[in-house]
Structure 1
Amino acid sequence: MYASAYTPLLPGQKPTPGVKPVVALDNAAKAFEKLYPGIHIEFLPNTSTEGTNQWYETEGAAGQLPDISWVQGPYVNIDYPKGLFTDLLPYFQQPNPFIPGNKKWINTMNPEAVDSSIVPGVKAGTTGVYAVDGDWEGFGFWYNKALFKEAGITKPPTTWGQLVTDSQELKAHGIDPGATFGAPIYNWFAHIFQPNALGASRMRTILGVKGNTAGAVTSEENAYFYNHYGDWLNPSKDPALIDWWPAAKALLSTWDPATIDVTETNASTAPSPYSLFTSQQVAMVYVEGSDMPKLVYALPKKHQFPFGMFNPTSVMGTSKYATNLVTYQDVGGPYVGFQFAISTHLADSTMTPAKFKAALAWLQFITTPHWDQTIVNEEENAIPIIKGTTAPPVDRTFQQAIDKYPFWSLSAFDTMTSTSFDTIDGLFLEYVNGFISFKTAEKEYDADAAQIVAQFDSQNAGLMAKFTQQENARLGIK
């Protein structure tokens, strides 16, 4: 098994000084092997080689993939060669025998994770669900309580407007307010503001869902609703898609330009937000994952400081299009380290029906609430999402949010072509760093969106013709 970030300490390996070794998955393996003495779980090393596209391709072609691998579900049969992994969806409909009373394994899973793992994702391909998800990556603002107190701020902000005000107050007291990764900032902020501006009703229509059913806007949907049914995803006709940019700039303009004035291609040149935070050079950082606690607690006692995490739950007042839809949980999602797939015989020449049965049982075993919570919480970089699990206290609010609110993912245009990300993110950074006016940014955004959609339509003409026919029928358009 290649277990990625959850790979336990292997025989002969020595733990890194000052770093607590990961042992939970190994403990689970020992418990499983006790139930089934004829089965042995062997873990592969977690190096820079495993888990790359080239590794899946070369090892799969040679029939040498491990029985179980960490795999990001939506990439199967699209970014990876077809036929490497087994569609698990039929088995999701069967009981998990390790959960008393369970009638369908899928009923224990986070529906947003299952939905977002369905293949095809943004392109046509062999359909199915090829990985079981057990963790979730959350974004949040980690903040230094002592530095906030020094600026007279006694509690974290709950609205975007208060976040901006607090950031300005920190700066006024000579405290560097915040930092994030150098890029991609557009993508993260778009997930907060764009679904919010469109509102629940339009998001449900675009995604074709009812109630709070999860969904991620695909490139096909982006292209369709750019040209059809109200042109909701056409910024030249619906400015809501970009009207939030000034609110993002209001926050980022209080931060040190060195932390954001970079592009995706040279993001590594930006200062590490983790280093800036743990050295108390900034008051807050907006980052993914939940490993900040172990970084702070790893500091010498005299350098540790009180900290916490928050997310503004309201963006009302940031734009005339802002709604009361809660969307902060839409940043992040599954695909951290607990996404495991079973190889086919084509990719793993040692795979047999008996071995597949054992591999399936092992995945069912580690996706019980007890083991999912134990494994994910130990690694301290994600949130467990099997029903019945509890995240660490610092992540509990975020876990409750992804259970309570819909996961409606939208970051318009930036993943539609091979160059669209750099185009849109680069424009956003030009604006927030003060190189162009908002009026200029609006015009360029409209032009870039038109060009990206036209290129996508041209490259996927057959797919879009079929998809348009399908959507027209769904929406009653003749």
Structure 2
Amino acid sequence: MMNRLSRRGFLQVSGLTITGALLASCVPAGGQQGAAPQAAGEPAAGGMSGHLQLWVQAYTPTESMEQGPNNPIPHNMIEVLADEYMESHPGAELEIIRKPANVADHEWIVTQQAGGTIPHIVWSHSFWIQDELDKGWWVALDPYFDQPNPYVEAGQPGSERWLDQFYEIPTEAKRLQDGKLYVVPIDLVTTFFFYNRDIFNEAGVEPPTTYGEWIETQTKLQDFGVIPNARLVWYQSQIGAMLYAKKEEAINKDGGVASLQEVACAIETELYRATNPEFVEWMNMSKNLIQYLAPDWAAANTDFNRKFLNKEVAVFEDGSWRFGSLKADPLVDFEWGSFYAPTITEQDSPFATGRAAPPIGGATAAQWAVSTRSERDGILPLVIDFLRFVTAPQNANRLISELGQFLPNIKGVDVNPDLKEPLRAITEGLGEAGMVTYPDKIGTEQREKIAQVWTDFHLDQITQEEAQQQIDALMTEYATKAIADNGWTCE
């Protein structure tokens, strides 16, 4: 089931649609490889029209533009942009889809794809798409990225080649095993530890910079009578990355994005296995943090943000989107700050180099994919043109800044002052894209099972030896299949 939204029916679950027409820059054709691109400067066929559906996840308009405790950041810019586009292009229809809130994103996407009702533009993780290439669900976007964006001012990035609008490092990390791009990565995220300054001051502790200091800080907070930390999320992968740092050159020889092939081959050649001493250290150091977490850290649907706002926990590991939410929330009645992932020093572990953890994040927020339904419905030109319109800096700036929760992956877009340094780190460094230990370097099926094994281990439901055996079996199962399916050769 899908709920449809329009600007004119803003408060209704199912609204009117917005009409307009196409300024096309490509022509439709079948096949997952994408339609044949239109020659630069060649006008599209006249009188083109179509009914375009899009689901844009976090950018879906709020049901009200009135700010309040339950609606701290009202937003509707995607509707505004759709209106503007359609007003100047009579003949097309845009329909913004609301996904039911009680259905998981990927579950909904798979169901809609299977039923042939998937929207034409869909938010989706690229690491989901990598396991779906054989299904023929998604359009490879490379031919269109190589064309000009007609909505970008001449001489600016994107005016000759659409792809040039996007920051290179996080965008290139979106390429899948066939070397192609299947998402338009509009914005970026990264992660921090948000902390309650008032509690820290009362407990007499400072934000930690190293793993050892983080243990000491949490112990003091616990002794003070406060639950130190809400949960363990991305820092777990960063711990692994810091402990495998000395093997980076052997695994990721070119020093660039850690490719799926490189990770599979590292598993195959036993450079990256759950039996490695680095992996054992990783398990020990992550398990050591569990004692400081909220009692229900592993429970489904726990509202950790609410715990932080209610001062039930002193620290909350979350994403860059939390800056905007905390600033806008009228119920926040305490001073708060943030600190970066504590570094594992050589004193903390002999496997560490003392270098800071690579930043989590990148182009993992608004990843807008194009379903092959666009080709079947004959509206791929409309889809591509609207994506170019939205990603033009003057339009992307309004979309991203209204929500205030994400970093732009588009050059020339203003940046939330709080996030200027994180933007530099994400766009100039590899971050999670270069992390062998990041979960999306392994297929979805094995990745989800490995995550459950980690949880079982942290909950003492299985021993460390059992966890190692299960994780190692899943890693090798993935690597063997991926190497065979893709014809990869491991040196």
TM-score tier, shorter chain, comes to: 0.7 to 0.9
Tell me how far 1:435 sits from its aligned partner.
7.4
Q: Is 2:214 the counterpart of 1:214?
A: no
Hey, what's the Cα distance between the residues in 2 that align with 1:383 and 1:282?
27
Hey, what's the Cα distance between the residues in 2 that align with 1:296 and 1:71?
28
- Measured at CA, do residues 209 and 374 of structure 1 come closer, stay the same or move farther in structure 2, by a change above 3 Å? farther
Q: Is 2:166 the counterpart of 1:140?
A: no
Tell me how far 1:459 sits from its aligned partner.
4.8
Q: Is 2:222 the counterpart of 1:193?
A: no
- Measured at CA, do residues 348 and 108 of structure 1 come closer, stay the same or move farther in structure 2, by a change above 3 Å? closer
Hey, what's the Cα distance between the residues in 2 that align with 1:339 and 1:275?
27
Hey, what's the Cα distance between the residues in 1 that align with 2:231 and 2:176?
31
Instruction: State the secondary structure of the residue aligned to 2:227.
Output: coil
Selected match of 2:436 from 398, 401, 410:
410
Hey, what's the Cα distance between the residues in 2 that align with 1:84 and 1:402?
30
Give CA-to-partner distance per residue, 1:410-434, whole Å, 9 cap, x none: 337894573664456535653x567
289-298 or 103-112: bigger deviation: 289-298
Selected match of 2:139 from 70, 74, 86:
86
- Measured at CA, do residues 130 and 50 of structure 1 come closer, stay the same or move farther in structure 2, by a change above 3 Å? farther
Q: Is 2:478 the counterpart of 1:456?
A: yes
Say if 1:191 and 1:410, in contact at 8 Å, map to a contact too.
Answer: no
Aligned to 1:70: 123
Say if 1:276 and 1:282, in contact at 8 Å, map to a contact too.
Answer: yes
Q: TM-score, normalised by structure 1?
A: 0.76
Give CA-to-partner distance per residue, 1:279-301, whole Å, 9 cap, x none: 0111111124523652564344x
Hey, what's the Cα distance between the residues in 1 that align with 2:61 and 2:174?
25
Q: Is 2:322 the counterpart of 1:291?
A: yes
Aligned to 2:300: 268
Say if 1:138 and 1:288, in contact at 8 Å, map to a contact too.
Answer: yes
Selected match of 2:277 from 235, 239, 243:
239
Give CA-to-partner distance per residue, 1:230-258, whole Å, 9 cap, x none: x321343x4123313443344432334x1
Say if 1:179 and 1:285, in contact at 8 Å, map to a contact too.
Answer: yes
Aligned to 1:161: 212
Hey, what's the Cα distance between the residues in 1 that align with 2:392 and 2:245?
35
Say if 2:273 and 2:475, in contact at 8 Å, map to a contact too.
Answer: no
Say if 2:192 and 2:341, in contact at 8 Å, map to a contact too.
Answer: no
362-371 or 388-397: bigger deviation: 388-397
Instruction: State the secondary structure of the residue aligned to 1:143.
Output: strand
Q: Is 2:355 the counterpart of 1:325?
A: yes
Selected match of 1:226 from 251, 254, 267:
267
Tell me how far 1:398 sits from its aligned partner.
2.5
The one-letter code sitting in structure 2 at the alignment partner of 1:321 is F
Hey, what's the Cα distance between the residues in 2 that align with 1:357 and 1:243?
52
Hey, what's the Cα distance between the residues in 1 that align with 2:138 and 2:149?
20
Give CA-to-partner distance per residue, 1:127-158, whole Å, 9 cap, x none: 631210112232221111111111123x5223
Selected match of 1:111 from 138, 143, 168:
168
The one-letter code sitting in structure 1 at the alignment partner of 2:411 is K
- Measured at CA, do residues 51 and 276 of structure 1 come closer, stay the same or move farther in structure 2, by a change above 3 Å? closer
Aligned to 1:176: 227
Q: TM-score, normalised by structure 2?
A: 0.75
- Measured at CA, do residues 433 and 59 of structure 1 come closer, stay the same or move farther in structure 2, by a change above 3 Å? closer
The one-letter code sitting in structure 1 at the alignment partner of 2:351 is Y
The one-letter code sitting in structure 2 at the alignment partner of 1:110 is Y
Aligned to 1:342: 370
Hey, what's the Cα distance between the residues in 1 that align with 2:224 and 2:114?
59
Instruction: State the secondary structure of the residue aligned to 2:96.
Output: coil
Aligned to 2:8: none
Hey, what's the Cα distance between the residues in 2 that align with 1:350 and 1:40?
13
- Measured at CA, do residues 81 and 8 of structure 1 come closer, stay the same or move farther in structure 2, by a change above 3 Å? farther
Q: Is 2:333 the counterpart of 1:304?
A: yes
The one-letter code sitting in structure 1 at the alignment partner of 2:308 is F
RMSD between aligned residues: 3.5
Hey, what's the Cα distance between the residues in 2 that align with 1:397 and 1:357?
37
- Measured at CA, do residues 259 and 398 of structure 1 come closer, stay the same or move farther in structure 2, by a change above 3 Å? farther
Q: Is 2:183 the counterpart of 1:131?
A: yes
Hey, what's the Cα distance between the residues in 1 that align with 2:230 and 2:416?
24
Number of equivalenced pairs:
428
Tell me how far 1:41 sits from its aligned partner.
3.5
Give CA-to-partner distance per residue, 1:78-99, whole Å, 9 cap, x none: 3377333321112222233333
Gaps of 5+ in 2: 1-53
Q: Is 2:474 the counterpart of 1:471?
A: no
- Measured at CA, do residues 395 and 244 of structure 1 come closer, stay the same or move farther in structure 2, by a change above 3 Å? same
The one-letter code sitting in structure 1 at the alignment partner of 2:484 is G
Give CA-to-partner distance per residue, 1:309-342, whole Å, 9 cap, x none: 221363213211111433241x344333x22223
Aligned to 1:259: 296
Aligned to 2:57: 4
Identity of aligned residues (%): 21
- Measured at CA, do residues 445 and 96 of structure 1 come closer, stay the same or move farther in structure 2, by a change above 3 Å? same
- Measured at CA, do residues 402 and 34 of structure 1 come closer, stay the same or move farther in structure 2, by a change above 3 Å? same
Hey, what's the Cα distance between the residues in 1 that align with 2:445 and 2:370?
29
**1:34-53 correspondence runs (5 A):** 34-48=87-101, 52=105
Hey, what's the Cα distance between the residues in 1 that align with 2:439 and 2:397?
36
Tell me how far 1:16 sits from its aligned partner.
7.8
Give CA-to-partner distance per residue, 1:108-140, whole Å, 9 cap, x none: 2233443343233xxxxx663121011223222
Say if 1:109 and 1:385, in contact at 8 Å, map to a contact too.
Answer: yes
- Measured at CA, do residues 64 and 293 of structure 1 come closer, stay the same or move farther in structure 2, by a change above 3 Å? closer
Aligned to 1:475: none
